[in-house]
């Protein structure tokens, strides 16, 4: 008759629980943190689609467009192309 002994339980690898622990410690540690997390997620849900529509989906990517032909329904990327050196180097 064989005698079986229970093996010691092991903790899961740290890489598998690291993200869950971070979420629990930083975003869901108290009731106020839970409320703020959901408010922030709701604001992102409300604000991200219009921002993406304006900056990317409705934007004018014609790099030779002037101010009149660019339109007002989306971002005008010709301004970025014309001032790229100023944005990169500061002059």
**Is a pLDDT exceeding 70 seen at residue 20?**
yes
Same domain, 68 and 90: yes
Whether residues 63 and 90 share a domain: the answer is: yes
Is 62 a member of any domain? yes
What is the arithmetic mean of pLDDT over 28-36?
A: 96
pLDDT at residue 48 greater than cutoff 70: yes
- Is 72 within a domain? yes
Nearest to 58 by CA among 76, 44, 46, 43: 76
My answer on whether 42 and 69 are in the same domain is no
Is residue 10 in some structural domain? no
Parent domain of 83: 58-91
- Quick one: pLDDT at residue 27? 94
Quick one: 45 and 71 in the same domain? Answer: no
Say whether pLDDT at 91 is over 80: no
pLDDT of residue 1 exceeding 70: no
Task: Assess whether 62 and 90 both reside in one domain.
Answer: yes
Q: What percent of the chain has pLDDT over 90?
A: 41
Q: Is 66 contained in some domain?
A: yes
Asked if pLDDT for residue 3 goes beyond 90, the answer is: no
Whether 1 maps to a domain, the answer reads: no
Buried residues in 50-81 as b, exposed as e (16+ CB within 10 A)? eeeeeeeeebbeeeebeeeebeeebbbbbeee
């Amino acid at each position: 008759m064989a005698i079986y002994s229970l093996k010691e339980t092991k903790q899961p690898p740290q890489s598998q629980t690291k993200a869950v622990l971070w979420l629990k410690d930083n975003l869901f540690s108290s009731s106020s943190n839970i409320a703020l997390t959901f408010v922030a997620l709701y604001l992102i849900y409300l604000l991200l689609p219009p921002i993406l529509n304006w900056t990317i989906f409705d934007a004018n990517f014609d790099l030779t467009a002037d101010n009149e032909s660019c339109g007002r329904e989306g971002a005008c990327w010709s301004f970025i192309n014309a001032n790229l050196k100023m944005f990169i180097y500061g002059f």
